Amino acid sequence: MRNYIIRRLLYAIPTLIGISILVFAITRLAPGDPVRLYTFGALNITEEDIAGLRTHWGLDKPLPLQYVDWVTLAIQGDFGRSLQYNRPALPLLLERLPATLQLATVALVLQLTIGIPLGVIAALKRGTWIDNVIRVFAVAGHAIPTFWIGLLFIILFAVTLRWLPSQGLLTVGHDVWDIPDRVTHIIMPAFVLALGGIANYSRYLRTETLDVISQDYIRTAHAKGLRERRVVYVHALRNALIPMVTALGPLLAVLVGGALVIEQVFTWPGVGQFTYAAARSKDYPVIMAGVMVASALLVISYLIRDIAYAIVDPRIKVR
Amino acid sequence: MGYKMPVLNPERLRSVSRFSQPARTYVEGYMIRLWRAVALVGMVSLVAAACAPSATPGGTASPAGSAAPTAAQPVPGGRVVIGTFVDIQRLNPSTSNDTGSSDVSGKIYDSLVTIDPKTAEVKPWLGSWKVSADGLTFDWTIDPKANWSDGKPIIAKDFLARVKMQARSKVTPNKSTFNDIEGYQDYSTGKATDISGIKIDSADPKKFTVKFTRVFCPAMVSVFGSAPMPDHIFGKYTVDNDPTKVVDDAAENNNPPVASGPFKFKEWRKGDQTILTRNDAYFKGAPLVDELVFKVVADTNVLAAQLKTGELSIGKITATDVAGFQGEDRLKLYKWQANSYTYIGWRGNNPNVGFLADKRVRQALAYGIDTAAVVQSVLLGEGAKMIQHHPNVSWAAAPEKDLNPYNYDKAKAEDLLKAAGFAKGGDGFYAKEGKPLAITIVTNQGNKLRETFLQVATEQYKQIGVKINPKVEAFESLVPKLTGGSPEVEAVIIGWSLSADPDPFTIWHSSNVASPTKAGNNFVGYSNPEVDKLIEAGRNGPDCSQAARQKNYQALNKILNEDQPYMFGYTPKEILVADAKIQGIDPGTFNLNGQWNIEKWWFKK
């Protein structure tokens, strides 16, 4: 198992290098100039000042050389300095990460605790109105863009009903440890972020459960006189959950990616909001650091998936 | 989504308050801005698109009316929560260039001078000055009562510290602000270990002299509007004989331990809010409110929603949001003339549209658009037509009676096009020598107001036989094309947010014509020796008196009005929504955020 993990991590290195080359090229070749954006409106600026900034940030070197410089430092954990904030890019991002992880974690919990039961119920009540409602919800939850749902929720729950705050991490004037206040702030963005996953899992689980309950051993379990509840939750659900693990793998990364949009809508001060703003101002070091952090998360979550697979399904062995 | 700030200029001007004490003003960050203004998230505004904004029950206070002394006595206490679209980036004004940061740092650090928000007049604040007859030497005395919040006096050395840290900073976009101070550039490059032009009085640490190498009229705002920085905190980061030592990474930059302004820094919750508390040691007396919170919100829709729920106490909105505040008794709207305008710039130096070099064509384009209708459809009436570079309320503006108003006149527009050699073809569009009169107008994406302006212009120009190809492009890729003189740009709809000092050098002087080899803000390629001369006289004097400069700028505005290098478009009103309990709000054109006298605000119980 240990060898397996090490090998997988080694495989990740060329992947990350490939991603970094791609993102580096895309950000640099896109139109726009960070120095011009940064200095825009400074009335007394001279061309020498601009050249000085370019040199200071190493933007005057040929692109391949800039990339080599970047890799050399990135390996040592130095992702360069944010042009906008004049602080190292990685710590800047990492100080935003907890907010994003909070949001993603709550969303994940919501996805599983809502999505799985919905799928099972739909399967057991197959063909009834309950099933139909859940299935319509699943398709809708998948199809409707989350930012739009987010805005609708804000109008309904924050502006009209005034049940929940519309934006941010906590109320102005409240302590950062005011947990009830934070809970009221996180519910709406987390739920909206979770919607796609809830829809996805309920559909997955419905299909899988239908598959499993038509199997012989379930009929056997029934024949043995086991109670329905036990048949469903112990015999059927456990097997139905196995394919779910594949879907769970990239989940964290998907949630972090989805957070990019949701964080905009709810002004959630996380990595997504920050990277988005960096992209707008062409803050190259922050963009690169953001993409690398997200890629690393993706690689790690795939690894966790494969390990989890081996644990839940004894038929699979990692070598 | 997100990132839709009105990128307006960061001048925090303060001025003379109507309350008992004279108030300060402040001018950090002398600059102009391309005005990006507000983009909306992919959602229609929360409000219905009606107008009649003056019906707001809270009363649409005129700036003057709101300042009338109230019967009630000011009471201390309370917290003002200010809605903003951008988080702060750096709180050291010597290295920052963004509006979000300067709005906050302007409350922490005061300047030597203040600018009257109503008249743009420069007035003494932390310091007072005397200028020599040749306009080159300034003797300054800092107010004896002025102290840092830790009790240490604000002294000449603090101003020197500011100049020095900016000289050596590797990341400041404003290194050249002090270029005209004698010896500054040598210090900046490390050739000298002191700035010969700044001399501190050996007998009185609050007195100093600044000597310039040439007369530079905007210096009152750009140089002396630069806030002194506490030498006892930041002095150690700049080392006279070692130019590699810089203030850029000082821990105190984003955690200022002392303040000279009305508020002290308390906490920066990254991406969410910045909290300031009142400075009891403030030299003009402690502010009345306890706390200022700058809260980041996603966009104007959210801003509007949070003002209504009371989560925010003040925020700037646009004309299209006004109707949504009808019937909100607990909120009050303040409107005032903006120091900005949105225009169509005609590239006079782009061979693709060579006909735009012809003044008659540009004048035809001025006559051919009904600006009143544009103001109505784009700003719902909350603005006015512009026919010159400076807004009417500025002392630099030419009197309207001396200018051509370019009233909407389709016949006249077509006559001018014919005079310029164009003839109408069968398709209804003018053409000359087989080349149609077609112009691509680009504007920045996501700015609904400008996109509407572009639609209206396209439609109206069609009626006078001019074909417009409307185009939108992301702000960040458009800006380099404009300032780099890209041939892709034929005409542009964009805005200027002007500095409190009227110097239009970067926009209209021929040395600032944008080209691929030299970036500039004169991206229409306007070049007129007479205008150059007027700009230079207004900028380099030698007579920097307002009367002398006014003569030059009024003449300049007359020429621009005649030449029409821009269709000057419209100037919007600034609109501030505030909790109706807040007393003392008194905005003016030359204070962008309307917060210049925030230390005098108080909450009526």
Q: What amino acid occupies position B205?
A: P
Assess contact for B590 and B14: CB atoms under 8 A. no
Confidence of residue B549 (pLDDT cuts 50, 70, 90): very high
Assess contact for B316 and B576: CB atoms under 8 A. yes
For A123-140, how does the pLDDT look when each residue is reduced to its tens digit (9 = 90+)?
A: 888 889 999 998 888 888
Burial class, A250, CB count within 10 angstroms (exposed 0-12 / middle 13-18 / buried 19+): middle
Confidence of residue A318 (pLDDT cuts 50, 70, 90): low
Buried b (16+ CB within 10 A) or exposed e, A204-228: bbbebbbebbeeeebeebeeeeeee
- Give CA–CA dist A74/B393, Å, rounded: 54
Backbone φ and ψ for B4, nearest 5 degrees, come out as: -120, 70
CB contact under 8 A, A274 and B271: yes
Nearest to B2 among A155, A170, A273 (CB): A273
Residues 6+ apart with CB under 8 A from B56: B322, B325, B326, B328, B332, B333
Q: Would you say residue A60 has pLDDT above 70?
A: yes
Percent of chain B with pLDDT over 90: 67
* Residue B69: DSSP 8-state: P
- The two tokens of residue B25 are 């003003």
SS3 B84: strand
DSSP string, B207-223: EEEEEBSS--TTHHHHT
* Residue B171: DSSP 8-state: S
Most A CBs within 10 A among B45, B249, B306, hence the mutation to make, goes to B306
Lowest mean pLDDT among A100-114, A298-312, B418-432: A298-312
Residues 6+ apart with CB under 8 A from A41: B7, B9, B31, B32, B33, B34, B97
In 10 A of CB A178, how many CB atoms? Answer: 14
In a 13 Å sphere around the CA of A268, the CA atoms on its Cβ side amount to: 31
Residue B160 confidence (pLDDT): 97
Residue A316 confidence (pLDDT): 67
- Give CA–CA dist B358/B497, Å, rounded: 27
Q: Would you say residue B452 has pLDDT above 60?
A: yes
Assess contact for B316 and B307: CB atoms under 8 A. no
DSSP string, A22-40: HHHHHHHHSS--HHHHHHT
DSSP string, B98-162: -HHHHHHHHHHS--SEEE-TTT--EEESSEEEEE-TTS-EEEEEE-TT-B-TTSPBP-HHHHHHH
* Better-scored residue on pLDDT, B247 or B45: B247
A39 Cβ under 8 Å from any chain B Cβ? yes
In 10 A of CB A65, how many CB atoms? Answer: 10
Number of H helices, E strands in chain B: 15, 25
- Give CA–CA dist B368/B423, Å, rounded: 16
SS3 A189: helix
Across chain A, mean pLDDT equals: 84
Nearest to A166 among B179, B222, B302 (CB): B302
The CA-based angle A151-B34-B295, given to 5 degrees, is 40
For B38-61, how does the pLDDT look when each residue is reduced to its tens digit (9 = 90+)?
A: 332 222 222 222 233 333 333 333
Number of H helices, E strands in chain A: 15, 0
Residues B468-472, mean pLDDT to the nearest whole number = 95
- Which of B253, B275, B250 has its CA nearest to residue B264? B275
β-pairing verdict for B602-603 and B430-432: unpaired
Confidence of residue B570 (pLDDT cuts 50, 70, 90): very high
Q: What amino acid occupies position A313?
A: D
Residues 6+ apart with CB under 8 A from B23: B14, B15, B16, B17, B114, B284, B596, B597, B599, B600
Residues composing chain A: 319
Beta strands of B386-429 (E only): which ranges?
Answer: 423-424
Q: List Cα–Cα distances, B272 to A176, A267, B275, B294, B296, in angstroms.
A: 12, 8, 10, 8, 5
CB contact under 8 A, B222 and A43: yes
State the Rg of chain A over Cα. 24
* Residues from chain B contacting residue A42 (CB–CB below 8 Å): 31, 97, 173-174
Most B CBs within 10 A among A44, A83, A149, A171, hence the mutation to make, goes to A44
- Give CA–CA dist B473/B493, Å, rounded: 11
For A215-236, how does the pLDDT look when each residue is reduced to its tens digit (9 = 90+)?
A: 888 888 888 888 877 887 777 8
State the ipTM, two decimals.
Answer: 0.79
Residues A98-109, mean pLDDT to the nearest whole number = 88
Which residues 80-99 of chain A have a CB within 8 Å of chain B?
A: 84-86, 95-96, 99
Min CA distance, B226 vs chain A (Å)? 13
Q: What is the largest CA-CA distance in chain B?
A: 83
Inter-residue long-range contacts of B400-408, CB under 8 Å, 24+ positions, other chains counted: B402/B554, B402/B558, B403/B557, B403/B558, B403/B561, B404/B561, B404/B562, B406/B363, B406/B366, B406/B367, B406/B371, B406/B564, B407/B367, B408/B367, B408/B368, B408/B369, B408/B370, B408/B371, B408/B372, B408/B373
- The two tokens of residue A274 are 């920050």
Q: What amino acid occupies position B27?
A: V
CB contact under 8 A, A99 and B3: no
Min CA distance, A55 vs chain B (Å)? 10
Q: What amino acid occupies position A278?
A: A
Nearest to B311 among A43, A151, A165 (CB): A165
Inter-residue long-range contacts of A148-153, CB under 8 Å, 24+ positions, other chains counted: A148/B42, A148/B43, A149/A192, A149/A195, A150/A188, A150/A189, A150/A192, A150/A262, A150/A265, A150/A266, A151/A265, A151/B41, A151/B42, A151/B43, A151/B301, A153/A188, A153/A191, A153/A192
- Give CA–CA dist A62/A70, Å, rounded: 12
- Give CA–CA dist B220/B123, Å, rounded: 9
Q: Would you say residue A188 has pLDDT above 60?
A: yes
Most A CBs within 10 A among B476, B515, B518, hence the mutation to make, goes to B476
- Which of B324, B589, B587, B571 has its CA nearest to residue B449? B571
β-pairing verdict for B127-131 and B137-142: antiparallel
Lowest mean pLDDT among B30-34, B396-400, B554-558: B30-34
Nearest to B271 among A42, A269, A280 (CB): A269
Q: Would you say residue B318 has pLDDT above 60?
A: yes
Min CA distance, A155 vs chain B (Å)? 8
- Give CA–CA dist A147/B146, Å, rounded: 50
- Which of A311, A257, A291, A287 has its CA nearest to residue A80? A287
* Residues from chain A contacting residue B499 (CB–CB below 8 Å): 43
DSSP H or E segment with residue B353: none
- Give CA–CA dist B11/B29, Å, rounded: 6
Q: Quick one: chain A helix, strand, coil %, rounded to 5?
A: 75, 0, 25
Nearest to A32 among B81, B297, B477 (CB): B477
Nearest to A85 among B86, B90, B170 (CB): B90
Nearest to B46 among A43, A155, A169 (CB): A155
Residue B37 confidence (pLDDT): 38
For B170-229, how does the pLDDT look when each residue is reduced to its tens digit (9 = 90+)?
A: 999 899 999 999 999 999 999 999 999 999 999 999 999 999 999 999 999 999 999 999
- Give CA–CA dist B464/B487, Å, rounded: 25
* Residues from chain B contacting residue A261 (CB–CB below 8 Å): 1
- The two tokens of residue B34 are 């391309």
β-pairing verdict for B331-337 and B60-61: parallel
DSSP H or E segment with residue B548: helix B546-563
- Model-level pTM? 0.82
Q: Would you say residue B313 has pLDDT above 50?
A: yes
Lowest mean pLDDT among A54-68, B12-26, B410-424: B12-26
* Residue B91: DSSP 8-state: -
* Residues from chain A contacting residue B79 (CB–CB below 8 Å): 172-173
- Give CA–CA dist B190/B241, Å, rounded: 7
- Give CA–CA dist B47/B44, Å, rounded: 8
Across chain B, mean pLDDT equals: 86
Residue B48 confidence (pLDDT): 27
- Per the listing, tokens 């979550």 go with A301
Residues A186-196, mean pLDDT to the nearest whole number = 90
* Residues from chain B contacting residue A178 (CB–CB below 8 Å): none
Q: What amino acid occupies position A159?
A: V
- Which of B566, B402, B591 has its CA nearest to residue B498? B591
Residues B456-475, mean pLDDT to the nearest whole number = 93
- Give CA–CA dist B373/B380, Å, rounded: 9
Residue A249 confidence (pLDDT): 65
Assess contact for A64 and A28: CB atoms under 8 A. no
